[in-house]
Structure 1
Amino acid sequence: MSPIRSVTTAALASVVLATTLTGCQLGEEPQDTSPIVIGADLELSGAQAPVGKAYQRALELKRDQLNASGALGGRKVELRIKDNRSDAAESQRNIGDFGNDSSVSAIIMGGCNECAVASVRTINEKKVPTIALAPSGAITNPVAERPYVFKLAPNAADSASALASELVRRGVKKAALLHSDDDYGREGQTALSAEFAKANIKLVAAQAVKGTDTDVSQPVQALVDRKPTAMVLWTPPEQAMLAATAATEAKFKGSLYFDAAAAGELFLGSSARSAEQATLVFTQTMVIDDVIATTPAKAARRQWFRDYTARFGGYHGFSSFAADAVQLIADAELRAGGEPGRVDRDGIRDILETSQMDGLSGPIRMTPDNHSGLMPQALTTLVAQGGRWRLAG
């Protein structure tokens, strides 16, 4: 920890301590020291384990930061993490267990679209506020039927709009699409088709791949055969990188474009050559070391990037969503108040529904009509250069 951050932490702790002592002297209620318990249902094994483990690292780092800061008064964040094995049925069991535990304030779910969608009924029955980190719109829509469910991830419509704008800027007239065979992938195909129609871009072909597919060469070859000038990869990160390699092997001469859900590690590793000059629509935090920190929010994102990189030796794009979810829940728990040691889930839900903050991921705004908080302005254009993602332009 740097000297400046140490001083800040100490100063904040001193303020909290002074406030506590003053409160005791004035005969106020004793300070609440009960933990803020957050259940986490993550993909720590199975097909989606790489992203799930990145979420786990981010949750634990953010927990440690909050607990060390003194910003929660006498309280601490406690994580209870369960592995759903990338399986929707296992995820539902985990959600049920968390819902039955009255000490759990809220739940954070990982990147599994099917897990979150399948758990909606259980979440509503248990009345436990839940923030999913998966991108599918079906997780939070229709909102009236999902009062306890929230989402922190890029939205398909926003990503499709940004991708189409970039293709127009590059003069692309014919594009192909490789998408995941799930709710989010189909949502992407619909959103891209609509944006392409408005932009006069022809979608010459689309291929779907299952989440468990580890060889995508055939669908990629089928797309290359249609001779598009651009190929959009709307899949999880590992499959997007496999597709980039397959496109190179198929002698694809056009440009590659990655949807936000395809963002993974900052450094591209063995896929670097195949992905060179590819375009990614994602949040600026992924490349915040390229950005001058001109605002407190940007400075906070830069510090998060540095802390994550220092602890784990690299950076994963989706980590900031997990950290923001912890922050939103902790803030809501503190604002909900209530009796010390008793969790007010309805109060937390109500506060989450109107939460606003400039988060580590970008601007976040929840409303009663929109439980998917990431604003379109959070997305920007990145480019793969020299084995890592960089800010475009």
Structure 2
Amino acid sequence: MTVTTGRKLLALASATLLLTACASKEERAGVEQAASGSGWSAGMPVVKVGLIGPVTGAFAVAGISMENSVRVEIDRLNAEGGVGGAKLELVVRDTALDPAKGVQAANEFAGDDSVGLVIGPALSAFYNAAKPVLENAKKINCQPMVATGDFTSVKYGYRAQDPVSLDVQKIVEHLKAEGITSVGIVYEGDDAGKGTAAEIQKQAEAAGLTFAGFQETRNDDQSHRAYVENLKDAGAIWISNSAGGAKTMAAAGETGYKGLIVGGSGARNISFVEAAGDAADGAIFSATYYPYPGKEGRDTWKPGYRTHIEEIEKRFGKNTGPKTGAESPKAAEIAADCVLAYAKAAEQAQSIDPDKVAATLDSIEISDQETPSGNSISPDKHEFFGIDDIHVYQWKKDADGWHTVEIGK
């Protein structure tokens, strides 16, 4: 190398150092972010994930489970470098089952440019109230606890739960195969209840079953006995996904109801078994992948699900029913799927721009071996899961205690 060349290189290096020294903190952070991970920059040091759900009150177990799963997945992704060099940060807002608080939280997140993903508001009525806010603000949002309603009309919203249409399809197929000829429903008279009842009636009658009616419950009901007695001649009774479902299951035991108790994924909650006791034995529910209380060894579990659940157990423990000993993880794995899908879409788009992320989410493919829930993510009309991701499980009690078995494989 000549002296002249050496001097030019030295001058170039000196100029680079001078420019770097003069750059603002924000500019230097951008350079550092662009140099990390996959080589693209999110343009900010932190991308917030806003979670809206009931973390206090009667349905707190659901909100806390969502928070646990989202936190575990965020920590995992941050350990791998975050998203575009930015760290993910969880911000939780409690609805306490108050729809107004859900809308208030949605407005807060909608006005915060650092929020890249909103999870919730949990429950159909709450989401329906907040949906216009999230759409108008172009906030990518993911719904792991909204079973009813149509997501084809939204651009930025995605459902990460088994929709009631698929749950009903699986259960109606099972009822028909078992020779059961009628089905009724006991559910709250809200958006979720009305939507579920309409779906059951439509699919049951199309399959040649008699729809035995919709018994609308109230939140202040002390017992669901009268509702169950009104459907005593039905071959099956569909119960609510929320806390009211436990009351219906308990009432079925009290009245000696002889038909089948069926429901959606909410019925996997051990509070239902706690409320009903032995009456829960034989109850059937449709849900996404859920091997946890089963008797098969963990070596049969899908790897992403197993990793997620075992980290949940390590950090938060598990729920154990004081009366029945039934167990469940303190997790809502489908909420963690929301974070994984968002992060992968942003990485593929190399951007956190909501339009680019949404376009990528519309065609993303994530294997069921990788996801925290053990379900494949392949959005169709903004639905993460399809009919092949829905299973039918049955609660059983034997000498080893309570567990679930998959039926109709």
Settle same-fold status: TM greater than 0.5. Answer: yes
Give the letter for the 1:177 counterpart.
Answer: I
- Cα distance between partner residues in 1 of 2:385 and 2:195: 17
Give the letter for the 2:70 counterpart.
Answer: L
Cα deviation code 1:2-58 (max 9, x no counterpart): xxxxxxxxxxxxxxxxxx99x969xx8889772231111111234432211211121
Q: CA deviation at 1:293?
A: 7.4
Q: CA deviation at 1:73?
A: 7.2
Instruction: Give the corresponding residue for 2:216.
Output: 208
Please point out which of 366, 385, 395 is paired with 1:374. Answer: 385
Instruction: Give the corresponding residue for 1:222.
Output: 230
CA contact (8 A) 1:152 1:374 kept: yes
Q: CA deviation at 1:116?
A: 0.5
Give the letter for the 2:383 counterpart.
Answer: S
Q: CA deviation at 1:267?
A: 8.8
Cα deviation code 1:237-293 (max 9, x no counterpart): 422222111111112122211222433249933533120111111122343855577
CA contact (8 A) 1:136 1:183 kept: no
CA contact (8 A) 2:312 2:330 kept: no
- Cα distance between partner residues in 1 of 2:58 and 2:155: 29
- Cα distance between partner residues in 1 of 2:41 and 2:340: 24
Between 1:126-135 and 1:314-323, the stretch displaced more is 314-323
Distance change in 2, residues 1:77/1:289 (3 Å):
farther
Distance change in 2, residues 1:119/1:292 (3 Å):
same
Query: TM-score, normalization: structure 1?
Result: 0.81
Instruction: Give the corresponding residue for 2:245.
Output: 240
Q: CA deviation at 1:108?
A: 0.6
Instruction: Give the corresponding residue for 1:166.
Output: 174
Residue 322 of structure 2 corresponds to residue 309 of structure 1: no
Where structure 2 has 5 or more consecutive residues not aligned to the other structure, the ranges are: 1-30, 320-327
- Cα distance between partner residues in 1 of 2:132 and 2:183: 38
Distance change in 2, residues 1:180/1:365 (3 Å):
farther
Residue 406 of structure 2 corresponds to residue 392 of structure 1: yes
Residue 109 of structure 2 corresponds to residue 92 of structure 1: no
CA contact (8 A) 2:47 2:88 kept: yes
Task: Name the SS for the 2:45 alignment partner.
Answer: coil
Task: Name the SS for the 2:96 alignment partner.
Answer: coil
Equivalent positions of 1:329-344 (< 5 A) are 329-338=342-351, 343-344=352-353
Q: CA deviation at 1:175?
A: 2.4
**Structural RMSD (CA):** 3.0
- Cα distance between partner residues in 2 of 1:55 and 1:334: 23
- Cα distance between partner residues in 1 of 2:340 and 2:318: 23
CA contact (8 A) 1:285 1:305 kept: no
CA contact (8 A) 1:293 1:299 kept: no
Query: Once the two structures are aligned, what percentage of the paired residues are identical?
Result: 18
Distance change in 2, residues 1:30/1:71 (3 Å):
closer
Give the letter for the 2:347 counterpart.
Answer: L
CA contact (8 A) 1:332 1:348 kept: yes
- Cα distance between partner residues in 2 of 1:248 and 1:307: 36
Equivalent positions of 1:64-103 (< 5 A) are 64-70=75-81, 74-103=85-114
Give the letter for the 2:268 counterpart.
Answer: A
Give the letter for the 1:366 counterpart.
Answer: P
Give the letter for the 2:238 counterpart.
Answer: V
- Cα distance between partner residues in 2 of 1:216 and 1:379: 28
Task: Name the SS for the 2:243 alignment partner.
Answer: helix
CA contact (8 A) 1:36 1:76 kept: yes
Residue 361 of structure 2 corresponds to residue 355 of structure 1: no
Task: Name the SS for the 1:78 alignment partner.
Answer: strand
CA contact (8 A) 2:262 2:284 kept: yes
Q: CA deviation at 1:101?
A: 0.8
- Cα distance between partner residues in 1 of 2:310 and 2:405: 17
Give the letter for the 2:309 counterpart.
Answer: F
- Cα distance between partner residues in 2 of 1:389 and 1:214: 28
Cα deviation code 1:209-229 (max 9, x no counterpart): 2455453222122222xx223
Distance change in 2, residues 1:304/1:213 (3 Å):
farther
Structure having the higher Rg? 2
Equivalent positions of 1:5-84 (< 5 A) are 34-70=45-81, 74-84=85-95
CA contact (8 A) 1:105 1:333 kept: no
Residue 198 of structure 2 corresponds to residue 190 of structure 1: yes
CA contact (8 A) 1:135 1:261 kept: no
- Cα distance between partner residues in 1 of 2:343 and 2:167: 29
Please point out which of 291, 298, 302 is paired with 1:298. Answer: 302
Distance change in 2, residues 1:210/1:61 (3 Å):
farther
- Cα distance between partner residues in 2 of 1:318 and 1:222: 35
Query: TM-score, normalization: structure 2?
Result: 0.78
Residue 92 of structure 2 corresponds to residue 104 of structure 1: no
Between 1:267-276 and 1:104-113, the stretch displaced more is 267-276
Where structure 1 has 5 or more consecutive residues not aligned to the other structure, the ranges are: 1-19
Task: Name the SS for the 1:280 alignment partner.
Answer: strand
